């Protein structure tokens, strides 16, 4: 599911039947342009750019780790961690103050 989820998000909905395995097993495979497919620009981790002109070509590159730069890892986990740490420190501080002053 995870791969399709990324592929379809970047390359659009799959139309027709394709087998990525056949392509990946054939190093001499040549992709044919699909005139109905709107060109997608993909980037790899080193910043190299390519244009893909068919859904299957796009899917093949995305499977290989290329992205369109739109899927970026969000910082939610960082914010969540900071929020929890803040909450924990506040609770501990409250507890400490309660022990020190309220009981007296």
For other proteins, the closer of residues 3 and 49 by Cβ is: 3
CA-nearest of 66, 62, 63 to 48 is: 66
Reading the block at residue 50, the tokens are: 């390519």
Binding piece for other proteins, criterion CB under 8 A, among 22-30, 41-49, 53-61, 87-95? 87-95
Q: Report whether 10 contacts 70 (CB < 8 A).
A: yes
Binding piece for other proteins, criterion CB under 8 A, among 23-31, 33-41, 59-67, 71-79? 71-79
Among 41, 49, 50, 88, binds other proteins (CB under 8 A): 88
DSSP-derived secondary structure for 9-34: HHH-S--S---HHHHHH-TT--PPP-
Binding site for other proteins (CB under 8 A): 1-2, 4-5, 8-9, 13, 73-74, 76-78, 80-81, 84-85, 87-88, 91-92
């Amino acid at each position: 599911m995870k791969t399709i989820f990324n592929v379809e998000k970047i390359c659009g909905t799959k139309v027709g039947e394709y087998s990525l395995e056949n392509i990946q097993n054939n190093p001499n495979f040549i992709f044919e342009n699909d005139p109905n497919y709107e060109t997608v620009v993909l980037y790899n981790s080193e910043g190299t750019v390519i244009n893909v002109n068919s859904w299957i070509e796009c899917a093949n590159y995305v499977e290989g780790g290329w992205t369109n730069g739109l899927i970026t890892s969000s910082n939610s986990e960082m914010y969540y961690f900071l929020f929890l740490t803040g909450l924990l420190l506040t609770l501990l501080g409250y507890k400490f103050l309660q022990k020190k002053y309220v009981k007296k």
